Amino acid sequence: MNLIGLDIGTTGCKAALFDEDGTLLASASREYPILMPHPGWAEQDAEDVWRLAQEVLRQVVAQADGADVAAIGLSVQGEAVMPVDADGVALRPAILGMDTRTNAENAWLRERFGARWLFDHTGMPVHTINTLPKLLWLKTHEPELWRQAARFLLYEDFIIHKMTGRAVISQCLASRTQLYDTPAGRWSPEILAALDLDPARLAEVQPSGYAVGTMRADLAGSLGLARPPIVVAGGHDQACGALGVGLTQPGLAMVSTGTAEVVEVALDAPTLNETLYDGNISVYAHTAPGRYVAMTLNHSGGLLLRWFRDAFCADEVRQAHAAHTDPYDLIFSPSPSHPLPPSPLLLLPHFAGSGTPTFDTASKGAILGLTFNTTKADIAQAILEGLTYELRVNLDLLRAGGVAIDELRAIGGGAKSRAWLQLKADITGIPVVAPRITEAACWGAALLAGAGAGCFADVAEAAAARVHLEQRLEPDPARAAQYDARYALYREVYPALADLNHRL
């Protein structure tokens, strides 16, 4: 049985075709832009994303020479929301999770409900990332569009509607919106009443792995599929990645380096304690049945690498294209003397504000220690170190809250670099393991597709049985000691600059 995982990320989409044992048969990807029409805004043309998603699906099917596909599952970026008409056509660009325009709406939510009430009922801290304040913004600032919209959809239900005619969202993704009562397992009546929002204007909630229906015959034909596959509810991309790397038991942790950098830890129940609340950790439904995940977030992640590539590395991009290689291999490749000592620079990677634990949207990126001897390579190294210091901040928070983390399973684009994996181990002091399939979000979505098609009776068992961990990197004691000293300095950077950035 062949399965497709379709991953709709913030800056690009990927499709991957697997057999039921997890062997990758074909893959394709496309990048797309983030629109920033005003400071703090981050939007996206959802119809263009759908067009490119069809392109990668068509390419994967063609690469596999028309291989029969039983089912397709979705892994999607979280929180982005768009109003659509009765036919599911987006009426305006999607407002993305990284958009920070909703400070006033969040102030209203704190006054109306209280931050702790919202966390206890939805598992989501008050923040601009959430779907709820975005809907409040639309209702306040675009009232005519608010009235016209037939529904408000996220990317999962948007694309499932395109494929099947049904607007269905996974419980996993619904529980990231701050509209969903996670302990009760339903759209929150109190929150919807405050918005005067009829639940019929939201998608139908179903478990991850739920078979929505068969793909429209005309769409399947246009994609080159031999027959319409079953379309299956998937989930949030990070939770799909966690499933794909076998993160189904409490105590296992995953670090995903894509557009953002995320840590996820599996939980038996929606743990909503004081430590997680104080650290702005989100808790939501896993794609694995009956499980939950706690998630930390650094908004920058791979988006910071992409900014550096596009702004400063045109020569490396040209060389890579001519050689048909990845530009990042040239930009961030270790020198012959690797492993290098810690960079003389300290970089604060708050280019889109800070993530957990401070969630400070006014924080900004900074590079400290610049001299006339500073090279582009120094800055490239400082980017990787700064992102990894920020990773350690979040791991330290989880461990302080009593969460045991004995091993980090690394996925995403960052997991392809052995040097960066070793850097993660050295800075965090935790062994880092990379699976054979580093694009685990697509595999997680494909696993859910298999569950929906009846291939797997237990998707968690199927995930655990099929994960292949190929690299294990232990912290180097000498380098870990060097980075401990630099990390102590790094912890002083944000407090030193926070007030200045707010006034700036």
Sign of the CA dihedral with 439 first, then 441, 446, and 450 last: positive
Express each pLDDT in 91-118 by its tens digit.
Answer: 999 999 989 999 999 999 999 999 999 9
The percent of residues above 70 in pLDDT, for the chain, comes to: 98
Express each pLDDT in 311-327 by its tens digit.
Answer: 999 999 999 889 888 88
> Is 80 exceeded by the pLDDT of residue 437?
no
pLDDT average, residue stretch 160-169: 98
Express each pLDDT in 376-396 by its tens digit.
Answer: 999 999 999 999 999 999 999
Residue 124 tokens read as 């989501």
Q: Cα–Cα distance between 279 and 352 in angstroms, integer?
A: 18
pLDDT average, residue stretch 192-206: 97
| pLDDT for the residue 162 | 98
Residue 375 tokens read as 């090279």
- Tell me the pLDDT band of 301, cut-offs 50, 70 and 90: confident
| pLDDT for the residue 335 | 47
Express each pLDDT in 234-246 by its tens digit.
Answer: 999 999 999 999 9
Q: Residue 493's CB: how many other CB atoms inside 10 A?
A: 17
- Mean of the per-residue pLDDT values of the chain: 92
Q: Where are the domains of the chain?
A: 2-244
| pLDDT for the residue 435 | 85
Give the C-alpha distances (Å, rounded to integers) separating 414 from 15, 90, 109, 258. Answer: 18, 32, 36, 7
Provide CATH code, domain 2-244.
Answer: 3.30.420.40
With vertex at residue 287, the alpha carbon angle to CA 286 and CA 291, rounded to the nearest 5 degrees, is 40
Which of 453, 451, 479 is CA-nearest to residue 466? Answer: 451
Q: Residue 239's CB: how many other CB atoms inside 10 A?
A: 34
Q: Is cis: bond before 357, omega within 30 of 0? A: yes
Which of 218, 124, 119 is CA-nearest to residue 177? Answer: 124
> Is 80 exceeded by the pLDDT of residue 401?
no
- Tell me the pLDDT band of 399, cut-offs 50, 70 and 90: confident
**What is the three-class DSSP state of 384?**
helix
- Spatial CB neighbours of 193, under 8 Å, sequence gap ≥ 6: none
| pLDDT for the residue 337 | 44
C-alpha R_g of the chain:
22
Q: Cα–Cα distance between 486 and 490 in angstroms, integer?
A: 6
Query: Which of the residue ranges 13-17, 39-43, 57-61, 340-344 would you say has the lowest mean pLDDT?
Result: 340-344
Instruction: Kindly state the DSSP code that residue 228 receives in the 8-state scheme.
Output: P
| pLDDT for the residue 339 | 66
More confident residue, 338 or 153: 153
The 3-class SS string of 304-372 reads HHHHHHHHHCHHHHHHHHHHCCCHHHHHCCCCCCCCCCCCCCEEECCECECCCCCCCCCCCCEEECCCC
